[in-house]
């Protein structure tokens, strides 16, 4: 993303949620986005994923298919298709469809894109997330951790350019959270999947390759191979200087 500014509202009451942000996210890596409440994390994620358009600046999502196409140049229809096929999302609240089985939830993005699920590929993804044997269940018959595994399988199934995860462990107990983070790590390491995760949890950030810290709508720091202690101390400092 290059010189991205996102303002909400107009005139003197406008809020600058992102302030001239230029940054890159390494392909094939696991990146955490952190920062105090109101620092612009959600806005960053939404702009990076094409869910929201910046007020100014450009967002590019690399990869050969797109040829580095600027998201700002896509019309709404193209943007919807792009999101559906090239981006995966994982949310805190799982966002599964309750009336669909596990299998139907996972294959939904493929069906929306008008492609037939490939049985072998589907079974590969289900095995990778540890859900083999649960294909016929409904979300209400699964634990929170299992539901998040379904959401991750659904995100992986289109082999997207990037998976964006918004507090994916926010609704889970610490042990289950750890399993989900290990799974995201595995997607990066084994499947070379790029993952970008917003989190407020230093322990979660420890699973990533790098942390981008936001404060006041700007990227103010970047830590590689983060430890929880390191992340905690940067967060404490950012809260103090806010």
Specify the pairing of strand 56-58 against strand 2-8: antiparallel
Rule CB under 6 A: say whether 202 interacts with ligand ADP: no
| Ranges assigned E (strand) in 92-204 | 162-166, 194-198
Q: Minimum distance between the CB of residue 232 and ligand ADP, rounded to whole angstroms?
A: 17
Q: Is 50 exposed, middle or buried (0-12, 13-18, 19+ CB in 10 A)?
A: buried
* Closer residue to ligand ADP (CB): 17 or 49: 17
Task: Tell me the C-alpha distance between 206 and 208, whole Å.
Answer: 6
Which window, 31-39, 71-79, 141-149, 204-212, contacts ligand ADP (CB under 6 A)? 31-39
Helix (H, G, I), strand (E, B) or coil at 46: helix
Tell me if 219 sits within 8 A of 226, measured CB to CB. no
One symbol per residue from 36 to 75: x for binding ligand ADP (CB under 6 A), - otherwise; what is it?
A: -xxxxxxx--------------------------------
Residue with tokens 């999302």: 89
Tell me if 193 sits within 8 A of 156, measured CB to CB. yes
Tell me if 56 sits within 8 A of 3, measured CB to CB. yes
Task: Tell me the C-alpha distance between 33 and 22, whole Å.
Answer: 14
Q: Minimum distance between the CB of residue 199 and ligand ADP, rounded to whole angstroms?
A: 11
Cα atoms found within 13 Å of the Cα of residue 86, Cβ hemisphere only? 22
Q: Minimum distance between the CB of residue 61 and ligand ADP, rounded to whole angstroms?
A: 19
Q: Minimum distance between the CB of residue 211 and ligand ADP, rounded to whole angstroms?
A: 14
One symbol per residue from 156 to 195: x for binding ligand ADP (CB under 6 A), - otherwise; what is it?
A: ----------------------------------------
Which window, 32-40, 64-72, 78-86, 230-238, contacts ligand ADP (CB under 6 A)? 32-40
Among 1, 4, 17, 177, binds ligand ADP (CB under 6 A): 17
Size of the site for ligand ADP (CB under 6 A): 12
Residues near ligand ADP (CB under 6 A): 8-9, 15, 17, 35, 37-43
């Amino acid at each position: 993303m290059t010189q991205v500014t996102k303002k909400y509202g107009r005139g003197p009451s406008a809020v600058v949620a992102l302030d001239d942000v230029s940054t890159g996210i390494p392909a094939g890596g696991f990146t955490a986005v952190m920062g105090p409440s109101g620092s612009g994390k959600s806005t960053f994620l939404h702009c990076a994923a094409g869910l929201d358009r910046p007020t100014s600046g450009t967002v590019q999502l690399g990869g050969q298919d797109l040829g580095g196409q600027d998201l700002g140049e896509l019309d709404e229809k193209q943007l919807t298709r792009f999101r559906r096929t090239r981006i995966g999302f994982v949310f805190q609240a799982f966002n599964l469809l309750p009336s669909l089985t596990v299998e139907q939830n996972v294959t939904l993005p493929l069906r929306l894109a008008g492609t037939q699920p490939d049985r072998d590929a589907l079974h590969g993804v289900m095995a990778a997330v540890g859900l083999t044997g649960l294909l016929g269940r409904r979300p209400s018959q699964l634990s929170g951790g299992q539901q998040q595994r379904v959401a991750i399988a659904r995100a992986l199934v289109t082999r997207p350019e990037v998976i964006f995860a918004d507090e994916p462990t926010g609704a889970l107990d610490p042990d289950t959270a750890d399993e989900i983070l290990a799974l995201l790590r595995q997607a990066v390491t084994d499947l070379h999947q790029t993952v970008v995760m917003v989190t407020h949890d230093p322990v979660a950030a420890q699973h990533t390759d790098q942390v981008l810290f936001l404060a006041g709508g700007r990227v103010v720091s970047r830590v590689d191979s983060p430890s929880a202690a390191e992340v905690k101390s940067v967060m404490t400092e950012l809260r103090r200087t806010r």
